[in-house]
């Protein structure tokens, strides 16, 4: 079973204003605030006035870009204490969104992935969304054996909080689950664990 | 016209699980009719797609093959669906039209190719389906899910051998929209649903660099209804276990440590996958069936000695990356060693057994 070198990981974009948009929604988390500042700087005053910003101050690396984001004359800035809250906020905003809406996402893979689940549920097309990865490459991992989702996984091998099996994180990503796949690391010979390592950091 | 030999004796009590003590074996005729997947002594991936037209008297005679394991395999599917609900069958909500397409394709094919076992009677959209092997006689309205006890795809594939993955065409690629996969080899349906062609092939080494995937996708996107294509693939499995999903990896992976050069003949099974792909007429989806056949190395030696020699050579020269990907690095050497005692080095014919001049199971 291949663990590394699997080509299913999302390829990310760079956030730039989408000229075709009539209405813009920009959501970011932690370090994702930095590309968001860059995006807003590149926007015209008209684009800023039709932009709603959602920002979660939860961060794995401790970076906070809230004060920079507050400098822009956007239509609305909504601040959330946690990533899950921000994703919920995105759901609310998208529920009221109209045709011509463009979405910008920035932050951890888990944040981008779970936000994409929401965008997809509203039928947003891939070319109406830009995604920029920022900050740490910690991962959201789905346990193939018990279905538990682990957030912010930083190591190749870890113990699943759901079933307590030793999991190895494969470089295999499911957009629908917004997660990487974790499988029992010592499945052939219990106790025979592969070398651990930090993930992409 | 029937695609099954008059003598087919359907076994009803086979098991594919350790709890059932793996009560499974092939008849000599059952082995010799297999779609043996090694045309040459050296094996490497290729697209190996060919038109899915009837060929020979074996597994490639029917559009969807039915063999002596049919009844037991359907019982195994029912058991797997019961044991792990939500893991082996999934369909995204917008796939309903493709589900009916698939039901129609399977039932029409079975009724046409095996009229002694299956009958489909249509009066407009009022259909009657008789499956004498499973004692089913149901009437329903085609296109109306409320007239069936479950999803149409689930209903049809519970009565079919092999797994079925339905791909929808979207943005110039193929995306997994539904699957009935109680016998999948080392992947998770739940994880893979929604993935595109390149994503779900992500874990397969070499394919991307070899350009095979690009060509395969272009080919598949040009497929038309009524013109199915097929390919064969293979792997090895320890014990005749059909359900080898990622979800249950920890239950079956330890078996890989039990193979020795003494017991490899009984323990190691060649897992042949026959994949006849069809474009579905209404939904424009493509169904990717994986019809899995299990045959032990010792059954090959006993009933198909030429194929045993061929697989010995193909395994001995196999690319280490493929050995690892297919998950048998731990017992590869033992299997090759066991097979070496059954290979006299005689030259073997080239080509699939169903092709003219191809490798036959027995004889010169």
Name B276's Cβ contacts closer than 8 Å, sequence gap at least 6.
Answer: B52, B63, B64, B228, B229, B230, B289, B291
CA-nearest residue to A186 within chain B is B250
- How far away is chain A from the Cα of B329, in angstroms, using its nearest Cα? 10
- How far away is chain A from the Cα of B39, in angstroms, using its nearest Cα? 25
Residue A201's pLDDT is: 46
Does residue A121 belong to the interface with chain B, where contact is any CB pair within 8 Å?
A: no
Question: b or e along B85-119 (b: 16 or more beta carbons within 10 Å of the residue's beta carbon)?
Answer: eebbbbbbeebbbbbbbbbbbbbebbbebbeebbb
pLDDT-derived band of residue A6, with 50, 70 and 90 as boundaries?
confident
Residue B175's pLDDT is: 96
B111: left (phi over 0), alpha (psi -120 to 50) or beta: alpha
Q: Mean pLDDT, to the nearest integer, of B139-150?
A: 98
Q: Which of A6, A126, A144, A160 to mutate to test the interface with B (most CBs of B within 10 A)?
A: A144
Greater confidence, B327 or B192? B192
Reading the block at residue A99, the tokens are 């045709």
Element (H, E) at A54: strand A51-56
Using an 8 Å Cβ cutoff, are B159 and B137 in contact?
no
Strands A157-159 and A166-174, bridge-based pairing: antiparallel
pLDDT-derived band of residue B6, with 50, 70 and 90 as boundaries?
low
Burial class (CB in 10 A: 0-12, 13-18, 19+), B53: exposed
Sign of CA dihedral A144, A146, A149, A151: negative
Across A61-134, the runs of DSSP E, i.e. the strands, are 76-80, 101-107, 129-133
CA-nearest residue to A191 within chain B is B254
Burial class (CB in 10 A: 0-12, 13-18, 19+), A155: middle
Chain A residues with CB under 8 Å of B199 CB are: 7-8, 173, 175
Residue from B231, B241, B271, B310 carrying the catalytic annotation: B231
pLDDT in tens, B7-26: 689 999 999 999 999 999 99
CA-nearest residue to A4 within chain B is B203
Reading the block at residue B141, the tokens are 């309205």
Q: CB atoms < 10 A from the CB of B318, how many? A: 17
**Residue A188 to residue B257, Cβ atoms within 8 A:** yes
Nearest residue, CB atoms, A165 vs list B190, B203, B250: B250
Cα dihedral A140→A143→A147→A149 (10° resolution): -20
Nearest residue, CB atoms, A144 vs list B193, B205, B246: B246
Size of interface A-B (CB pairs under 8 A): 71
Residue B257's pLDDT is: 96
Q: Is B231 a catalytic residue?
A: yes
Can you tell me the distance from the alpha carbon of A88 to that of B115, in angstroms, rounded to the nearest whole number?
Answer: 55
Does residue A18 belong to the interface with chain B, where contact is any CB pair within 8 Å?
A: no
Residue boundaries of the structural domains of chain A: 23-133, 139-184
Write down the H helix ranges in chain B: 28-32, 70-83, 96-113, 152-157, 189-192, 197-200, 207-210, 212-221, 249-252, 264-267, 297-303, 305-316, 320-325, 332-340
**Residue B247 to residue A174, Cβ atoms within 8 A:** no
The answer to whether domain A23-133 has CATH 3.40.1010.20 is no
Using an 8 Å Cβ cutoff, are A143 and A165 in contact?
yes
DSSP codes joined into one string, B106-164: HHHHHHHH-TTTEEEEEETTEEEEEETTTTEEEEEETT-GGGSSS-HHHHHHTTSSSEE
- Lowest-pLDDT range, A152-166, A173-187, B149-163, B196-210? B196-210
Residue A1 has pLDDT above 80, yes or no: no
Chain B residues with CB under 8 Å of A175 CB are: 194-195, 199
Can you tell me the distance from the alpha carbon of A28 to that of A56, in angstroms, rounded to the nearest whole number?
Answer: 6
Nearest residue, CB atoms, A176 vs list B194, B204, B330: B194
pLDDT in tens, B237-278: 999 999 999 999 999 999 999 999 999 999 999 999 999 999
Using an 8 Å Cβ cutoff, are A181 and A170 in contact?
yes
Residue boundaries of the structural domains of chain B: 37-42+56-244+270-295
Q: Order of strands, edge to edge, in the sheet holding A179-184? A: A149-153, A139-143, A179-184, A166-174, A157-159
Q: Which of A6, A120, A126 to mutate to test the interface with B (most CBs of B within 10 A)?
A: A6
Residue B321 has pLDDT above 90, yes or no: no
Can you tell me the distance from the alpha carbon of A53 to that of A75, in angstroms, rounded to the nearest whole number?
Answer: 8
Nearest residue, CB atoms, B253 vs list A142, A181, A187: A187
Mean pLDDT, all residues of chain A: 93
**Residue B205 to residue A5, Cβ atoms within 8 A:** yes
Could you report the predicted ipTM of this complex, rounded to two decimals? Answer: 0.91
pTM of the model: 0.91
Can you tell me the distance from the alpha carbon of B162 to that of B62, in angstroms, rounded to the nearest whole number?
Answer: 14
Can you tell me the distance from the alpha carbon of B353 to that of B307, in angstroms, rounded to the nearest whole number?
Answer: 10
- How far away is chain B from the Cα of A99, in angstroms, using its nearest Cα? 20
Percent of chain A with pLDDT over 90: 82
Name B217's Cβ contacts closer than 8 Å, sequence gap at least 6.
Answer: B173, B174, B197, B198
Chain B residues with CB under 8 Å of A7 CB are: 198-199, 202, 208
Does residue A190 belong to the interface with chain B, where contact is any CB pair within 8 Å?
A: yes
Nearest residue, CB atoms, B246 vs list A7, A126, A183: A183
Nearest CA to A131 among A5, A15, A3, A41?
A15
């Amino acid at each position: 079973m291949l663990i590394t070198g699997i080509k299913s990981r999302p390829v990310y974009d760079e956030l730039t204003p989408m000229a075709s948009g009539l209405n813009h929604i920009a959501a970011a988390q932690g370090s994702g605030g930095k590309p968001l500042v860059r995006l807003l700087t590149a926007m015209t005053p008209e684009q800023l006035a039709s932009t709603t910003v959602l920002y979660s101050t939860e961060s794995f690396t401790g970076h906070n870009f809230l004060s920079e984001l507050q400098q822009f004359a956007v239509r609305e800035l909504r601040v959330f204490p946690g990533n899950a809250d921000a994703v919920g906020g995105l759901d609310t905003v998208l529920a009221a969104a109209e045709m011509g809406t463009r979405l910008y996402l920035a932050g951890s893979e888990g944040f981008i992935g779970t936000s994409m689940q929401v965008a997809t549920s509203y039928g947003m097309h891939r070319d109406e969304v830009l995604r920029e990865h920022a900050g740490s490459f910690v991962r959201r991992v789905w346990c193939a054996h018990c279905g538990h989702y682990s957030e912010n996984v930083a190591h190749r091998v870890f113990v699943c909080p759901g079933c307590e099996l030793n999991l190895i994180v494969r470089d295999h990503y499911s957009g629908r689950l917004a997660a990487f796949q974790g499988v029992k690391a010592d499945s052939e010979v219990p106790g025979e664990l592969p070398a651990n390592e930090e993930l992409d950091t | 016209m029937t695609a099954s030999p008059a003598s087919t004796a359907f076994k009803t009590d086979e098991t594919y699980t350790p709890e059932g003590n793996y009560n499974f074996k092939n008849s000599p005729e059952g082995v010799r009719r297999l779609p043996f997947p090694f045309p040459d002594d050296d094996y490497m991936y290729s697209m190996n797609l060919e038109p899915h037209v009837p060929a020979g008297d074996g597994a490639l005679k029917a559009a969807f093959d039915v063999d002596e394991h049919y009844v037991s395999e359907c019982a195994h599917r029912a058991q797997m669906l019961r044991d792990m609900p939500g893991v082996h069958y999934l369909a995204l909500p917008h796939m309903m039209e493709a589900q009916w397409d698939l039901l129609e394709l399977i039932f029409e094919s079975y009724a046409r190719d095996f009229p002694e076992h299956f009958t489909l009677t249509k009066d407009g959209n009022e259909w009657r389906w008789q499956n004498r092997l499973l004692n089913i006689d149901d009437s329903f309205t085609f296109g109306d899910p409320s007239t069936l006890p479950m999803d149409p795809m689930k209903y049809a594939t519970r009565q079919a051998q092999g797994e079925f993955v339905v791909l929808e065409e979207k943005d110039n690629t193929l995306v997994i929209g539904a699957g009935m996969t109680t016998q999948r080899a080392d992947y998770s349906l739940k994880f893979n649903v929604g993935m595109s062609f390149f994503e779900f092939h992500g874990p397969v080494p070499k394919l991307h660099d070899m350009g095979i995937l690009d060509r395969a996708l272009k080919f598949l996107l040009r497929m038309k209804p009524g013109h199915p294509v097929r390919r064969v693939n293979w792997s090895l499995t320890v014990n005749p276990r059909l359900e080898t999903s990622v979800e249950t990896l920890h239950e079956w992976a330890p078996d890989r440590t039990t193979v020795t050069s003494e017991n490899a003949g009984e323990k190691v099974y060649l897992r042949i996958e026959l994949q006849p792909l069809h474009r579905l007429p209404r939904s424009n989806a493509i169904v990717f069936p994986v019809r899995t056949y299990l045959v032990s190395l010792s059954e090959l030696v006993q009933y198909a000695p030429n194929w045993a020699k061929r697989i010995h050579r193909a395994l001995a020269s196999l690319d280490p990356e493929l050995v690892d990907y297919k998950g048998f690095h731990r017992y590869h050497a033992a299997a090759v060693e066991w097979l070496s005692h059954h290979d006299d080095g005689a030259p073997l014919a080239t080509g699939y057994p169903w092709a003219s001049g191809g490798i036959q199971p027995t004889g010169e």
